[in-house]
Chains A and B, each alone.
Chain A
Amino acid sequence: MTIFDKFRGIEHRLEELKALGGRNPFDVVIERPLSSTAGMIEGRETLLFGTNNYLGLSQSPRAIEAACETVRSCGVGTTGSRIANGTQSLHQKLERRIADFFGQTHCMVFSTGYQANLGMISTLAGKDDYLLLDADSHASIYDASRLGHAQVIRFRHNDPEDLNKRLRRLDGTPGAKLVVVEGIYSMTGNVVPMAEMAAVKRENNATLLVDEAHSFGVLGPTGRGVAEAVGVEKDVDFIVGTFSKSLGTVGGYCVSNHPELDLVRLHCRPYMFTASLPPEVIAATMAALEDMQAQPELRVRLMENAARFHGGLNTLGLTTGKTVSPVVAVVLDTIPEAIALWNKLLSLGLYVNLSLPPATPDHHPLLRCSVMATHTPEQIDRAIEIFREAMTNLKTQPPQM
């Protein structure tokens, strides 16, 4: 009996996955990026359709320049926590910029998006409170529910009626009720029915936190996310998000009109007990935000590209979610089928994410693709063509041409 015995099961499963497809799917190396949409993998130029880099800003010239300039003047890191030596004027400037962008009074910046969810949710929902989570919530939200001390209740995915029923059951119980939803669900691309969720929040006098990680820069007239898109921002108490998708850098944030957000800084362990963002990341993030604001056409192109890719895969007879969003998840029946197709796509020069149960809803493996504003129509058509070739090759499903 050793401390590692518990890992034997996963070791065995990994060997099976490798035997099925020849690769370790969790060990893909992008040797170097060639642009926002292509990279070298296994020595081949490969189309990137699984990077969450929705606006292509990881390669923004303005952000690269800002990072270089700042790293020369400020150095490479802060070596400390935000509540000790880790707050520089740049951190406060970024918080002001993000708050202003959302039209909110307060902002906290975290070192990652994961920590923003972990910190906000575990701190806001205290011992006598209730935390109501969508069944398909991201791991950072589930982890927050374990770090905090609130009673945790799951409601059915994207089901406002079910949330309402569960809030009603809590009628008369003391303690606040914090409802957490995501703008776009990262595995499936499903968009939250935000107006209905906001109505349930109002009726039950609950507190509402929306994680806009995958919808920031993607949805809404100015890219503030799903709450802006459907006009219910005033019902949202806390918006959480990340810089590591649309803005192409790293870091997380929470914005709110509640002045008490500043008190959260002194209770929030994932904010207090970690080093703050390095200055060059902050400079790059602010520059990427300027790019995003200066180029609203990126969002238009992103949604056009999403529709082109989604439609193309459906024409091949593949099953995807119904809603068109930049996350397009191809649903497959069996793990061997998913492994074979994923390996074949990569060999043919297309990178997508392989997502296996139980990290996916309903026990189905997914080939999760994410579309970018910077993909050209030719790249999208090529990606669809690679899917067709791979399927013909494997005879996964006869393409309906």
Chain B
Amino acid sequence: MSETVQDVSALIINKLLANPKVPRDITGSSKIVEDLAFDSLAVMNFVMEIEDELDVSVPLDRLAEIRTIDDLATCLVSLKKGA
């Protein structure tokens, strides 16, 4: 099955909302570090959960470029296609 950026964004938001500390009004353009108050370790650990869901590995250097939830979704979709 081929996921779109929108599908993956929705999946990420769903996963994030399972954490009660995450603000309820997040969207694809929410910034992961600034709006969600995630530190670098929390971002890496969260990405691991999404990786399992989509069966893909995100190299750490790709993570450095990611600011928003949509950026992460775009990255995951491109890695999935490349695989």
Docked pose: A213 CA to B61 CA in angstroms:
27
Chain B residues, CB < 8 A from A358 = 39-42
Shortest Cβ distance from B47 into A: residue: A154
Contact between B61 and A151 (Cβ–Cβ < 8 Å)? Answer: yes
* Most chain A Cβ neighbours within 10 Å, of B44, B56, B59, B83: B59
Contact between B57 and A153 (Cβ–Cβ < 8 Å)? Answer: yes
Chain A residues, CB < 8 A from B56 = 169
Q: Which of A183-214 contact B (CB under 8 A)?
A: none
Interface 1/0s, chain A 162-175, versus B by CB < 8 A? Answer: 00001001100000
Q: Which of B37-83 contact A (CB under 8 A)?
A: 39-42, 44-45, 48, 55-61, 83
Docked pose: A267 CA to B48 CA in angstroms:
33
> Out of A154, A166, A169, A357, which one reaches B44, CB within 8 Å?
A154
A135 and B45 in contact, given A153-B57, A169-B55 (Cβ under 8 angstroms):
yes
Docked pose: A115 CA to B24 CA in angstroms:
45
Interface 1/0s, chain A 287-323, versus B by CB < 8 A? Answer: 0000000000000000000000000000000000000
Q: Which of A100-146 contact B (CB under 8 A)?
A: 130, 135, 145
Tell me how many residues of B have a C-beta within 8 Å of chain A: 15
> Out of B39, B41, B57, B61, which one reaches A166, CB within 8 Å?
B57
Q: Is A156 on the interface with B (CB-CB < 8 A)?
A: yes
Docked pose: A135 CA to B60 CA in angstroms:
11
Q: Is A152 on the interface with B (CB-CB < 8 A)?
A: yes
Question: Interface residues of A: mostly helix, strand, loop or mixed?
Answer: mixed
A169 and B48 in contact, given A358-B39, A358-B40 (Cβ under 8 angstroms):
no
Contact between B59 and A153 (Cβ–Cβ < 8 Å)? Answer: yes
Chain B residues, CB < 8 A from A154 = 44, 48, 60
Chain B residues, CB < 8 A from A153 = 57-60
> Out of A156, A170, A363, which one reaches B48, CB within 8 Å?
A156
Docked pose: A363 CA to B39 CA in angstroms:
10
Chain A residues, CB < 8 A from B48 = 135, 154, 156
Docked pose: A169 CA to B40 CA in angstroms:
24
A321 to chain B, nearest CB (A): 19
Shortest Cβ distance from A156 into B: residue: B48
A207 to chain B, nearest CB (A): 18
Docked pose: A169 CA to B51 CA in angstroms:
11
Chain B residues, CB < 8 A from A152 = 59-61
Contact between B59 and A135 (Cβ–Cβ < 8 Å)? Answer: no
Docked pose: A333 CA to B45 CA in angstroms:
19
23 contacts between A and B (CB under 8 A): A130-B59, A135-B44, A135-B45, A145-B60, A151-B59, A151-B61, A152-B59, A152-B60, A152-B61, A153-B57, A153-B58, A154-B44, A154-B60, A156-B48, A166-B57, A169-B55, A169-B83, A170-B57, A357-B41, A358-B39, A358-B40, A358-B42, A363-B42
> Residues of B at under 8 Å CB distance from A?
39-42, 44-45, 48, 55-61, 83
Instruction: Given A130-B59, A152-B59, output 16 extra A-B contacts at Cβ < 8 Å.
Output: A135-B44, A135-B48, A151-B59, A151-B61, A152-B61, A153-B57, A153-B58, A153-B60, A166-B57, A169-B56, A169-B57, A169-B83, A170-B57, A358-B41, A358-B42, A363-B42
